[in-house]
Amino acid sequence: MSRQKAAEIAAKLRGAPDFEKAAKAAGVEAKTTELLARDSPIPDLGVAPAVEEIAFKLAVGAVSDPIAIDAGTAIIKVLEKKEVTPSELAAAKDKFREEVLGDRRNRFFSAYMGKAKEKMRIEVNREALQKAVS
């Protein structure tokens, strides 16, 4: 879809009282998701940082401008927001800490293995390989 057409559709969706009916009339499909946490994959879009960034900035009821994503273009409307309570934050603190540490370990290991592979030199002994396969 061209940027101009996506902008026209976004304008129609912004002014429409019923987002889903307006989307259908414009020839696009409207889908609703459950509440999403930051950094979680979005159904049918996967991990889409651009959509996430805009979604968390928009006010409830607001419709976004067209957002370019790997799968095409998305226009989103925020239906509901739920702030995290201090008790929920405290309960998830340890889990979040473990996820961050795990991510750091994985990135370190990946970088280490990448550098190790660059320095590695592999020689194939064709005779030994042929004997092992035969």
pLDDT in tens, 8-28: 888 888 888 888 888 888 888
Q: Any idea how long the chain is?
A: 134
What does pTM read for this prediction? 0.60
Residues 96 and 58 in one domain: no
- Domain annotation covers residue 56: yes
What confidence tens digit (pLDDT) does each residue in 74-92 have?
A: 899 999 998 888 888 888 8
Do 35 and 66 reside in the same domain of the chain?
yes
Does residue 52 contact residue 46 with C-beta atoms inside 8 Å? no
Domain count, the chain: 2
Report pLDDT for 80.
92
What is the separation, in whole angstroms, between the first and last Cα of the chain? 56
Residue 24 structural domain: 3-74
- CB count in 10 Å sphere of residue 5: 14
Residue 80 lies in a domain: no
pLDDT for 106 beyond 90: yes
Residue 67 phi, psi (nearest 5): -120, 120
Give whole-number Cα distances, 105 to 92, 95, 96, 101, 108, in Å: 20, 15, 14, 6, 5
| Closest C-alpha to 23, from 10, 40, 36 | 10
